[in-house]
Amino acid sequence: MWIVVVLALIVFLLLAFRGLGFLAWVAAAGVWLIGWRVLGVAHPWAFVTSVAVLAALALVTGWPVLRRQLLSRWIMPRFAKVLPRLGDTERVALEAGTVWWDGELFAGMPDWPKLLDFVPRPLSAEEQAFLDGPTEELCRRLDDWDIHQRRDLPPEIWDFIKEQRFLGIILPQEYGGLGFSALAHSRIVTRIATRSVSAAVTVMVPNSLGPGELLLDYGTEAQKQRWLGPLARGEEIPCFALTGPEAGSDAAATQSEGIVEKRVVDGREVLGLRLNWKKRYITLAPVASLIGLAFRLKDPQRLIGDRVDRGITCALVPRDAPGVEIGLRHDPMGVPFQNGPTSGRDVFVPLDEAVIGGRECIGQGWRMLMESLAAGRSISLPALSIGAAQLATRICGAYATVREQFDTPIGRFEGIEEPLARIAGYTYLMGAARDLTCGALDAGERPAVIGNICKAYLTEAMRQVVSDAMDIRAGSAIQRGPRNALARAWDAVPIGITVEGANILTRSMIIYGQGAIRCHPFVHDEIQAVAADDLAAFDRAVFGHLNLFVTRAVRAKLLALSGSRLAAAPEAEDTRRYYQHLSRFSAAFAIVSDTAMGTLGGALKRREKLSGRLADALAWMYLASAALKRYHDGPKTRSNYALARWSAELALQRIQEALLGVLDNLPQRGVARLLKLALFPFGARFRPPSDRLGQEVARDILEDREARRSLTPDVFLPPADEPGLGALEDALDKAVRALPVETKLRDAVRAGRLDHAPGYMLDELGVAAGVISGDEYDLLHEARDAREEVIAVDAFDPEVYRTLH
């Protein structure tokens, strides 16, 4: 009898593991019944009765028409009580963009061949030429210290940006723009960011959320012809006014208002909008000539329809329109890109000309903004973050080699190795996420959840990387001046953390809130079916959801017990085990997520600590996928392998921490304990990257020049005579050339041929004793002079200091 039970259980588990929930229990029941009868355990009438009962159950659950009447009709009203209730603005935000690899992770059974077979679009020859030509030239002309002192880009820099169409990177060539890909857009901004955050922001904003993208996607043909060419050529400077004093994170709560009315203008009656607004934190506002404006449109006289409140709408307002107030500046952390408030009082604009997309887009502004942000959040701030990370990697890799204490490069000390490994590892991870996400955008996706992940987690990674870099540079990092590019990156970190949706909000509410509805295979369909009172659609969704839960529960349990070894993974990969572990955590995430939604219902929206941890798990699964994809697509070097392992091991530990954090704090403690036992039967087994792996990663950016270059491909390298990175790179080259000579001297000291002496004195003793030649002595002096130059810090005359910003 036990043989039959075990056989039936094996059949059930095998089929459920493959995602065949209904077939699994029917087949298992059949095996059990047949075995029961063959063994002669059951009386014939009991066998017939059991078959009849199981057949009835199979009929009820497997035949949709019958199932809807007997089960779904009873379940649906009860289900409606626990589903989250969505307002119109929430619904639009949650439905913005598309679902891509995030859907695979949410479903609990990622298709790794699908990811690895995906080929991101590389830079075109034209894009590479622009990166190597105008972008490199712009970087060469930029002096970030001077920009900080004058509090703006010099006029000649503004002219160059306009002439080279940096403000029209994303606009099609037919309208005078460059028509570049998302990857090119990101890499251009990243390179500029390694030189000047102010210049990078100036280029980034018109190509991110702004009038240009909105016009391109939603504008009428007349609006495109009127505005896109001047925007691409820099003849018009755009800004987009969204955030106001009363509407920050909740931008849809704006009190900015547009009233539909008629006026006589130049002797003719014009249907238009009377606009009133107060906005702040608007980048480029002080210099903008064209304002994109988000506001609530009202039609009290019902001039355009039956409804008074027509919803959030987007319009274009020329700077010189009567009633516009603009020009004041904010000072965001002392980083002098143009940013400031704007307001308008009774500003009148023609309705058909002003509303982006014309009358058809009245009330569609929130949807337009959310869909544009789905792409913009994937590119702009992640690009700035990668720029800061690559710059920190380049600076610290060189500095930790050149800077010596106790006659040893500081990079050799374990206390420095640890942050160096984090800097290199995060930089690799961030670049991987950028490449994969931009590849999706260039393939036509608008992955909203992934865009939010990139915005929040890459800017947080930037915070960690720049903080570590400041620790390594120590005293020299806090002395502002032309030599210290790192301090200006440090100043800019909070800006990336807070703008375009503060990271606290993005993590705790947006990523999982949007992901649970958009990325889950069935929740969105369930919500829509309940809202539409569509029993057939609800039946399909809820029983599909039930099948998903059962099969993923079996899958998660078996993978946990087997140490993930039962999961399918790419056979040829030396990172195969990481794919298997991610498959396990994807299944576990699906179960924990469904359990949280099922037990808390709509209240989960208010349990932001839980939803934040679920966001962490989803985000780190995506980041790990990106790192493994980068390693799969790139050269299989020793340094890349170490970086991929470091990234994957960090991600697995963070996913584990996030899921356990949910289970430790889920209010339904009995359910949480059962899940914890099922999903983590052997406890928390994943650890952060080991010291040994961290040492390997750190040594690569210290000793492997090619590894350091491949990790920082977007960094602009200044000339050797420029203070800061240029001089540091030159000092590194000289230190490397002098290293064999220094080794000779150290060996001579150990052998007793020379007395121990500091720096230059040891060089002279070595020449006198014939240990090194005159040429070698000159090489050492050149390296030591360069080292002294790069460890020096800026100091100012008191009168000059008083004028500094």
Task: Just list the catalytic residues.
Answer: 500
Sign of the torsion formed by the C-alpha atoms of 538, 541, 544 and 549:
negative
Sign of the torsion formed by the C-alpha atoms of 99, 104, 106 and 107:
positive
Tokens at 726, concatenated: 């240029």
d(CA 544, CA 522): 7
3-class SS letters over 720-787: CCCCCHHHHHHHHHHHHHHHHHHHHHHHHHHCCCCCCCCHHHHHHHHHHCCCCCHHHHHHHHHHHHHH
The radius of gyration of the chain from alpha carbons, rounded to an integer in Å, stands at 31
* Residues 70, 548 contacting (CB under 8 angstroms): no
Backbone angles phi, psi at 686, to 5 degrees: -90, 135
d(CA 200, CA 197): 5
Structure letter (DSSP) for residue 300: T
Instruction: State how far the alpha carbon of 36 is from the alpha carbons of 2, 27, 53, 202, 247, in Å.
Output: 10, 14, 15, 76, 67
d(CA 336, CA 92): 35
* Residues 109, 554 contacting (CB under 8 angstroms): no
Backbone angles phi, psi at 54, to 5 degrees: -65, -35
HSE, CB side, 13 Å, CA atoms: give it for residue 616: 22
Instruction: State how far the alpha carbon of 479 is from the alpha carbons of 473, 482, 793, in Å.
Output: 10, 10, 7
Beta strands at 309-318 and 324-326: parallel, antiparallel or unpaired: unpaired
The helix (run of H) or strand (run of E) holding residue 690 is none
Report which of 543, 510, 515 is spatially closest to residue 529, judged by C-alpha positions: 543
d(CA 99, CA 626): 16
